[in-house]
Amino acid sequence: MRVRVFSGVQPSGNLHIGNYLGALKNWVAIQRDYESIFCIVDLHAITVYQDPAELKRKIRETAGLFLACGIDPAHSSVIVQSQVTGHAELAWMLTCVTPLGWLERMTQFKAKSQAQETIGDGILQYPVLMAADILLYQAGIVPVGDDQAQHLELTRDIAQRFNSLYGETFVVPATKLPLVGARVMGLDEPDKKMSKSATGANHAVGMLDPIDVARKKIMRATTDSQPAIVWDTLAPGVENLISIYRAFGEVDEATARQEFEGLRYGDLKKKVADMVVESLKPIQQRYAEITADPAYLDGILQSSYERIAPIAQSTVELTKTRMGLYTR
């Protein structure tokens, strides 16, 4: 059996170049080497309040962007989490083997719960649902950024605990993330990872930003007070711009150094903006084509669903059987 790959993105906020370079671009590159499932994790999105009409729109937008970025629906499955009931079912069964302490020590949980006065149970359960996403498909590889490494480690712990309590049931996914994408930082605060929820107007370049807006955001990116690039002492903002350039253009370090050493910041930004804009144009073009026909997208989501539903079904049945729950 071919190794299965599973990964997911939340349909909240705007998908940006950090999501593309850190995740999607990798997915596209590896999709044909595995049996690939890419999921729009709307059940994760509702761990914080989402406007229903907006969420509905974002789910389709995210699916359209997956395809526009090069996910090949003839080969890979593009699914919406809430359509496959097994995610929520398995999440409950896994919740029951997960010690509370494991969840309370998750760094994302700690950060999110400190930032709010009242905290929804969904925020605590978030990583169990993520474990269910992965284990439901017996995925061996989960391409995600480092910020998800702890969640992936928890997934392994939960799988191992279940297997030892109830017998071999789940594939324990690899911890090593064999896929390294660029870690893109915020353009306005290059010490923080580019984030969908950041509020700064120049923080992120959205995949669907109008071209002139994308260009302007890059031209305004934070650098430092030096006039030009000194390769051995790059300010974080400058390093970020170069890394965006290299990731889009697949430019190796030696070549980048030659191109950029001594260059004035204004010229650096112009080069980066050109690279980003030229990379976004064909993606936006495909996105426009894909979304021109809503039935096309529905068809892809439906055929993906039909392809993966039996896998999800059989894992749920197996898990229920192992636990002694009712099956026919």
**Can you give the binding site for ligand TRP, defined by CB under 6 A?**
6-8, 10, 41, 44, 130, 133-134, 142, 144, 148, 151
29, exposed or middle or buried, with CB in 10 Å at 0-12, 13-18, 19+?
middle
Taking the complex as a whole, the smallest distance from the CB of residue 185 to ligand TRP amounts, in Å, to 16
Concatenate the DSSP letters of all residues of 125-160 into one string. Answer: HHHHHHHHHHHHTT-SB----GGGHHHHHHHHHHHH
Taking the complex as a whole, the smallest distance from the CB of residue 129 to ligand TRP amounts, in Å, to 7
> Residue 79 in contact with residue 4, Cβ under 8 Å?
no
Query: What span, in angstroms and rounded, lies between the C-alpha atoms of 127 and 148?
Result: 10
Residue with smaller CB distance to ligand TRP, 135 or 242: 135
Q: 195: left (phi > 0), else alpha (psi -120 to 50), else beta? A: beta
Taking the complex as a whole, the smallest distance from the CB of residue 41 to ligand TRP amounts, in Å, to 4
Contacts for 83 with CB less than 8 Å, ≥ 6 apart? 301, 305
Query: What span, in angstroms and rounded, lies between the C-alpha atoms of 203 and 217?
Result: 8
Residue with smaller CB distance to ligand TRP, 127 or 237: 127
CA distance from start to end of the chain? 27
Residue with smaller CB distance to ligand TRP, 38 or 248: 38
Question: 42-68 b/e with 16+ CB inside 10 Å = b?
Answer: bbbbbbeebeeeeeeebbbbbbbbbbb
Query: What span, in angstroms and rounded, lies between the C-alpha atoms of 268 and 272?
Result: 6
Residue with smaller CB distance to ligand TRP, 133 or 188: 133
Residue with smaller CB distance to ligand TRP, 10 or 31: 10
Active site residues: 112, 193, 196
Residue with smaller CB distance to ligand TRP, 179 or 234: 179
Taking the complex as a whole, the smallest distance from the CB of residue 6 to ligand TRP amounts, in Å, to 6
Taking the complex as a whole, the smallest distance from the CB of residue 19 to ligand TRP amounts, in Å, to 9
Taking the complex as a whole, the smallest distance from the CB of residue 173 to ligand TRP amounts, in Å, to 9
Question: 164-179 b/e with 16+ CB inside 10 Å = b?
Answer: eebeebbbbbeeebeb
φ/ψ of residue 235, rounded to 5: -65, 150
- Closest-CA residue to 162 (of 65, 227, 115, 92): 92
